[in-house]
């Protein structure tokens, strides 16, 4: 399975991200038999003067999908429909996962 990461900066709590994005997207990919939810990380951005005070959180949501192109298209479309910021990034995280860790 492919690991696809969706990254965005927003003034949302982890609870809000789960409610607004993770739950509905997870339901849609499972209903379509496209894949599963994998992981979620949130990081506070401390030194970014170009961001508004309330936008100091970067969110990364990771899904595992069966087909890369179909999975990326579906995830991108669903996040857009659910109101993700325009600067949302989509990343192939599969290779990073296949290398041995220490």
What does the pLDDT read at residue 56? Answer: 74
Residue 87 neighbours by CB distance under 10 Å: 9
How many domains in the chain?
1
Percent of the chain past pLDDT 70, that is, above it, reads: 83
The CATH number of whichever domain residue 61 belongs to comes to 3.30.70.260
Per-residue pLDDT of 38-62, as tens digits, reads 999 988 776 655 655 555 789 999 9
Distance separating alpha carbons of residues 27 and 76, to the nearest angstrom: 15
Number of C-alpha atoms within 13 angstroms, CB side, residue 80? 10
Q: Give this prediction's pTM.
A: 0.82
Structural domain for 27, as ranges:
2-98
């Amino acid at each position: 399975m492919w690991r696809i990461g969706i990254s965005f900066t927003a003034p949302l709590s982890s609870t809000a991200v789960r409610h607004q994005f993770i739950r509905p997207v997870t339901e849609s990919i499972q209903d379509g038999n496209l894949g599963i939810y994998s992981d979620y990380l949130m990081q506070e951005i401390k030194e970014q003067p170009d961001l508004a005070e309330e936008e100091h959180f970067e969110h990364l949501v990771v899904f595992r999908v069966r087909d890369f192109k179909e999975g990326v298209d579906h995830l991108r479309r669903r996040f857009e429909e659910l109101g993700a910021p325009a600067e949302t990034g989509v990343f192939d995280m599969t290779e990073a996962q296949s290398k041995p860790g220490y």
